[in-house]
Structures are given as C-alpha cells and as structure tokens.
Amino acid sequence: MPVLTLDELREHARQRLPGPVWDFIEGGSGDEHTLRAGEAAYRELCLRPRVLVDVADPDCALELLGTPLASPFGVAPMAYHRLVHPQGETATAEGTARAGALLVVGMFASRPLEDIASAGGPRWLQVYWLRRRDALAGLVDRAEAAGFGALMLTVDAPQVARRRRDVRNAFALPADVTAVNLDPGLTERTHRATAGSSGIEAHAREQFDPTLTWDDLSWLRERTRLPLVLKGVLTAEDARIAVECGVDALVVSNHGGRQLDRAVPALQALPEVVASVPESCPVLIDGGVRSGADAAIALALGARAVLVGRPVLWGLAHAGAEGVGQVLGLLRSELLETMALSGCPSLAGLGPTAVSRRPPLRDHPWPPSHGEPSRTASTTSGGLR
C-alpha cells in the first residue's frame, strides 16, 4: 500500500521507535503549548481559490541564496538522525537529493559532513554558538570545503529548554549515536542523564555560549564567505537588526515548540518579519507544516521556502532514504495540487490575497440578509488582514 499521508508515516514511525526516542523527537518544552499552537495556526487559515486560470503547468521550482531547488521545501536541521535509522543523515541526504529539496544538516549530525555531502544534493550547515569557538570555526571550514551552500546559525537556544518527557525518561543518547563532527570531549555529556535533566539539556548547558549577542555576529560574518542565515527569529525588531548585521536570510521559527514555550506561532510571526526586511533577504519558516496546503499558506504569507522537521524523521524511521523521499515527494505533489486548484500556477502568484482568516461562526448571520451589505465584508472578501 503506498503511503498517502504524513500521518500514516507518523504512525509507522511511532510503532518502530523506542518510547524515549519517540518522545525526544515528538516532544516540546514546558506545557507543549507552542508545539500544539504551531500546527493549529495553519488550521485557522483558509485558501481563497481563484478560478478560470490556466493551471496546466504549475511550477514550484526556485533558487534560494544561489541554491537551485525543485520545490520550496527543505529538511530542518535536526540532531542525531542515527537515533531513528542506522544510516542516519546519509540516508536523509540521499532521499532529500532525489526529491531536489534542500537539506540543512545539523551541527549535531551523527554522520560525517563529508559523507553527507557525497549524496550531492543542495545542502546548508546549521550551527550553534559553542563556548569552544575553535570547534565552531573548524566546522565552518569543513562545510566550505565540502560544498555546503550556506551557514545557518540557530539563535533561539542560549540553553536547551526543559523538555519534561525527556526528563521523565532520563533521556540520554545511546553509546553508538554521537555528534561525530565534533570533538568527543565536547559531546560526552549527551550520554548521561541526571536527576532533573536529560543528557541533551545538560550537554547544552555546558557547551552552548549563552553570552552571545548581536555584536558577536561579525566574527562569524567575517569568518565565512558563505551566506549567513539566522534561525529562530520571531519579531520585526530582531529581523531589522539581523539585516543591519549583514545576515542574508532568516528562518521564522520557534524550534518546533522545543524552546520557549508560549512563544508566538511561527505562522503568526511571519507577516511582521517579512514586512520588515528587504526583498533581497529571503524569509523561511518552520514548525507545524504537515501538508502541501500548509506550505501554500506560508508561501502566500511571504515565506520563500518551508522547512520540515519531524515528518522527515518519520519517513527516515519508516524506510530510510526512500521514506525521506516519500515525505518530500508527497509535500511537493500536494503543494502543486493546491497551487493548481487555487488558481496560482507559479510561486510568484501566491500572495496574501490567496489566504483568508476563518471568521468565527457568529460572524455569519443566519438567515443571510441577501442584498444587505455584509457586516463582515472586510474579513471575508479581501484576503488576510
């Protein structure tokens, strides 16, 4: 039976993975409010389809910071893919390359950067700002040498948030899953949970540099010729400073609900970020994208591309490279179908008027007052406000 929805893949993965690994992947921080809100935000919006448009040949290819992509999808950076499949990131890279999507490799990848690069697809590297700046610098040099197309600095994690599922499970990495691109001394702590803290959280408290400020960015900016992307920006204020600091692109993200609980849903933050940066600074989004229609909504609200996290790990757990290809292929075909059925055959045509906020039921007077101007005309006829 072919897999028809991401939910089916999720169920396959859930059955296959040990409980604590499943919890590490699926879980969020705090009350998991932001985790739930991130997905729900997409369900609050609807598409406003236009009709009688020639949609014989919808096209969703694009170029992002000089990287050509077959679709506006990328794999969000995620640590330790070998937790869910023995080949880890090399299988993810194969599946992603076949789909022509972007792979953002995490700093805590569990396979060597150079092996991941050999799959040949478009790839960027994500990093955290470590106290050991020499380790960060070493990775940047390796990424450049291995043909990575951009560097993504994650800025929403001065420390890793408390994730209660992981604390309860005393989650720690198995001995055979490690961040192989870093010095073993830097990651040894991930293998040991202590009372009240997962191995991951404790490791990050030791290694992440919480003193990082905008002033430090120039060091990284000058260190690399690669475009620099900031991941984890949720406000217009920070977006403007980032552009002033020479950042080339932004990812609107709350880390998939894994960092600040009660943070604003990424989709809600997207319009203000897009409005406050120049056209030359692409804005990406991640968190809660579970279908091509979700992606269409994000693109219509100004995202240039959409990163997908957990679903890629479901595909990887289910069927390795093949499963990753299924996830990205499904999303691309759903997006193309959505574009065709909403009368937007090109990405350029997908704008804010393609989206409408679902009005509360009470705003639909019943019986309708035919001929009377509707009280709610402004919410139902003009796209998103």
Ligand X SMILES: Cc1cc2nc3c(=O)[nH]c(=O)nc-3n(C[C@H](O)[C@H](O)[C@H](O)COP(=O)(O)O)c2cc1C
Per the annotation, binding residues are 77-79, 126, 128, 154, 163, 231, 253, 255, 258, 286-290, 309-310
Both tokens assigned to 248? 């080339």
Q: How many residues lie near ligand 7N5 (CB under 6 A)?
A: 9
Number of helices and strands in the chain (H, E): 15, 12
Judged by CB under 6 A, the residue of 96, 181, 253, 276 near ligand X is 253
246 with 221: CB under 8 angstroms?
Answer: yes
166 binds ligand X (CB under 6 A): no
Q: Which is nearer to ligand 7N5, 154 or 276 (CB)?
A: 154
Q: Which is nearer to ligand 7N5, 157 or 296 (CB)?
A: 157
Q: Which is nearer to ligand 7N5, 190 or 342 (CB)?
A: 190
Judged by CB under 6 A, the residue of 286, 297, 299, 325 near ligand X is 286
Judged by CB under 6 A, the residue of 9, 17, 25, 64 near ligand X is 25
Rule CB under 6 A: which of 192-211 touch ligand 7N5?
A: 200, 203-204
Other CB atoms within 10 Å distance of the CB of residue 44: 13
288 with 41: CB under 8 angstroms?
Answer: yes
| Active-site hit among 12, 255, 318, 370 | 255
82 with 316: CB under 8 angstroms?
Answer: no
Q: How many residues lie near ligand X (CB under 6 A)?
A: 21
Q: Which of 309, 112, 286, 127 is nearest to 208 (CA)?
A: 127
Q: Which is nearer to ligand 7N5, 308 or 344 (CB)?
A: 308
212 with 192: CB under 8 angstroms?
Answer: no
Query: Is residue 286 classed as helix, strand or coil in its secondary structure?
Result: strand
Rule CB under 6 A: which of 82-141 touch ligand X?
A: 106, 108, 126
Q: Using CB under 6 A, which of the segments 56-64, 130-138, 237-245, 285-293 binds ligand X? A: 285-293
Other CB atoms within 10 Å distance of the CB of residue 216: 14
154 binds ligand X (CB under 6 A): yes
Sign of CA pseudo-dihedral 83, 87, 93, 99: negative
Cα distance between residue 77 and residue 105, in whole Å: 5
308 binds ligand X (CB under 6 A): yes
Is 364 among the catalytic positions? no
Cα distance between residue 112 and residue 73, in whole Å: 23
313 with 17: CB under 8 angstroms?
Answer: no
Judged by CB under 6 A, the residue of 30, 77, 121, 315 near ligand X is 77
Binds 253: which of ligand 7N5, ligand X, none (CB < 5-8 Å by kind): ligand X
Contacts with 338 (C-beta within 8 Å, 6 or more apart), sequence order: 47, 292, 293, 295, 296
Query: Is residue 31 classed as helix, strand or coil in its secondary structure?
Result: coil
Q: Using CB under 6 A, which of the segments 60-68, 203-211, 274-282, 304-312 binds ligand X? A: 304-312
332 binds ligand 7N5 (CB under 6 A): no
CA–CA distances in Å: residue 286 to residues 73, 293, 295, 306, 338: 10, 14, 10, 6, 19
Rule CB under 6 A: which of 347-376 touch ligand X?
A: none
Residue positions forming the annotated binding site for FMN: 77-79, 126, 154, 231, 253, 258, 286-290, 309-310
Other CB atoms within 10 Å distance of the CB of residue 177: 20
Both tokens assigned to 19? 């409980």
Residues that bind ligand 7N5 (CB under 6 A): 79, 108, 157, 160, 200, 203-204, 255, 258
Return the active site residues: 255
- Binding stretches for ligand X (CB under 6 A): 25, 76-79, 106, 108, 126, 154, 231, 253, 255-256, 258, 286-289, 308-310
